[in-house]
Amino acid sequence: MKRSTDRILTTHVGSLNRPTELVEMLRDRYAGGAYSEADYNERLRSSVADIVRKQADVGIDILSDGEFGKPGFNYYPHERMTGFTPRGPRPPSGQRERGRDRSAFPEFYDEYDRSLQHATGELPAMECTGPITYRGEELLKRDLENFRASLRGLPVEEAFYAAVAPNNFGRGENRYYPTPEAFVGAVADALKTEYRMIVDAGFILQVDAPLGTYDLLSMSLEEFRRWLATGIEMLNHALDGIPEDRVRYHMCWGSWHGPHMFDVPMKDVIDIVLKANVQAISLEAANPAHEHEYEDWERIKLPEGKILLPGVVTHSTNIVENPRLVAQRIERYARLVGRENVIASTDCGFSQGAFSAKIHPSLVWAKLDALVEGARLASEHLWK
């Protein structure tokens, strides 16, 4: 994995806005409409080529395929694993297990749910009803080949491909395994294949592991820490044999646009996260709920060899950050953990999936422009 040895490198978290034509094809694919697999594969190939070229043109050093081959962050493995069957439409978000944010701000969430431009029920809810094994080799091979082809001739430092963490997939959907731990363990065994294929294809593996579960009213901090520790243990099992310097870990607090007043503080979980067998940690550092947490790195020692990917532009607001502010955020972390241990990133993905864009594409590219320019300004200061 590259480090910021002579300037601050730039990256992002992965998911970018899908083009309308690709989204419409996905809608037909999952809703049973008129659909051609050959046409979809060609549209996917060309869309990945376009989004990769746009990232390179902006100046992103370590880029992704936009996650275009996936319908959603934690839904896509259902297509790539055995043992899952549909159980009907997903319940509206307001009918799922109640969280601290929703309990504190019910009027806001009533309005928020109604205002969402995407349909929460586009993908069916799934449940585990049998043994889990990996069967997604061909789908993953397609994505990796599309990504590799799109990178040819482009001046980029590295490329990464995102995959879900074992304990962030399918929570509450187990009807087969005797315990939650056995279920997560089976998912981890299956994900070994996915993780290894990504790394063997020459890409950095990004493991996506949101911490939004802590928002649930049913979970105390102690219970959350146990859940997270089990997840890290299972992740390390799934990463067995993969060098740490080929893996980065993305932790966020859920990318929905709510108050986030009750997110678990980073300082209360980072000791567990740092036990993951990964080289780099991606974390939110720009949104108003977590920007202040840079101060915690005055007391937290970054282990030797680790890298931080602080988010210095955020998905949580339509305001485009001034590059000077971006540079200031980068320099804070560089002073605390060393400039070579910082890669400038985004807080989270700009799209949760094919049907749930969070920021208009024009603003996404303005934010990525600000990220690159801010990294340039910070580099001038840090290497003068």
Check residue 95 and give its pLDDT. Answer: 47
From residue 2, alpha-carbon distances to 5, 201, 345, 377 in Å are 8, 17, 14, 20
Residue pair 330/342 in contact (Cβ under 8 Å)? The answer is yes
Q: Please, which pLDDT band fits residue 355 given cuts at 50, 70 and 90?
A: low
- pLDDT above 60 (res 118): no
Give me the number of domains the chain comprises.
1
Check residue 354 and give its pLDDT. Answer: 58
Check residue 352 and give its pLDDT. Answer: 67
| Per-residue pLDDT tens over the stretch 206-227 | 999 988 777 777 788 999 999 9
Residue 247, domain CATH: 3.20.20.210
Q: Please, which pLDDT band fits residue 121 given cuts at 50, 70 and 90?
A: very low
Q: Is residue 337 part of a domain?
A: yes
Residue pair 374/312 in contact (Cβ under 8 Å)? The answer is yes
Domain range spanning residue 218? 9-382
Q: Is residue 60 part of a domain?
A: yes
Q: Is residue 181 part of a domain?
A: yes
Q: Is residue 248 part of a domain?
A: yes
Phi, psi of 160, rounded to the nearest 5 degrees: -130, 155
In this prediction, residues 352-360 reach a mean pLDDT of 68
Token pair 């279920």: residue: 183
In this prediction, residues 177-196 reach a mean pLDDT of 95
In this prediction, residues 335-349 reach a mean pLDDT of 97
| Closest C-alpha among 165, 197, 182, 228 to residue 83 | 182
Q: Is residue 358 part of a domain?
A: yes
The HSE-up count of residue 343 (CA atoms within 13 Å, CB side) is: 27
Q: How many Å apart are CA 113 and CA 73, to the nearest integer?
A: 20
Q: How many Å apart are CA 50 and CA 42, to the nearest integer?
A: 12
Q: Please, which pLDDT band fits residue 27 given cuts at 50, 70 and 90?
A: confident
In this prediction, residues 31-48 reach a mean pLDDT of 89
Q: Is residue 1 part of a domain?
A: no
Q: How many Å apart are CA 202 and CA 313, to the nearest integer?
A: 28
- pLDDT above 80 (res 67): yes
Check residue 364 and give its pLDDT. Answer: 95
